[in-house]
Amino acid sequence: MSVDVDSVALREPAHQVSPRAVTYWRISALIGAVVEWAVVIPVYVFAVPEIFDGPGRPWWTTVLLAVALVAPLVHLLVMPQLRYRIHRWEITPTAIHTRSGWLSIDSRVAPLSRVQTVDSTQGAIMRLFSLASLTVTTASAAGPITIDCLDREVARQLVHELTEITGASEGDAT
């Protein structure tokens, strides 16, 4: 029996994460950038002259500083929108399907019969944006499936829905 690969192509999941995720990811990236700059700038100003005796700094230390200052800005400007376009999720009566990432893209499908636990988490910044992440642990070596940045109420509804579906399943999901 041969299988036509085109006929079994997996469609993309139907739902996007909350539009507020873009601002959340941008704020998170900004916090990371500020921390990075708080380390890099003092090292450049104070440590580099101590390490390299002699007049001036080597040219490559200035290039490294420029990269260390610009890279977080590029991350801050590019990542949130790109990530929002890629992140998708869907729960059907038989499976959970997610797609996430921005540099590398991870697509996961797990049968609901394999679900062991359903967890919802909210960090401090996520609470400010009324967002939550959903983590579905399955009997899989690939690890749990996570849907980041759902609207808090959508996450709460999905936890209820998944608990109902998996609770009605026979067996122990192993």
- Mapped onto helix, strand or coil, the DSSP state of residue 84 is helix
Give the tens place of pLDDT for each residue, 34-66.
999 999 999 888 877 777 766 777 888 889 999
| Side-by-side strand order, sheet with 105-111 | 15-16, 88-91, 95-101, 105-111
Is 166 in contact with 99 (CB distance < 8 Å)? no
Give the pTM.
0.82
Residue, of 29 and 168, whose pLDDT is higher: 29
Its sign, for the CA torsion 90, 96, 101, 106, is negative
- Mapped onto helix, strand or coil, the DSSP state of residue 101 is strand
Strand partners, 115: 138
Is residue 76 scored above 60 in pLDDT?
Answer: yes
Mean pLDDT computed over every residue of the chain: 87
Of the candidates 146, 141, 135, 139, the one whose C-alpha atom is nearest the C-alpha of residue 171 is 139
Q: Give Cα 69 to chain centroid, integer Å.
A: 23
Is 105 in contact with 99 (CB distance < 8 Å)? yes
Q: Cα separation of 91 and 162, whole Å?
A: 9
Is 83 in contact with 109 (CB distance < 8 Å)? no
Is residue 2 scored above 50 in pLDDT?
Answer: no
Give the tens place of pLDDT for each residue, 100-131.
998 899 999 988 888 888 999 999 999 999 99
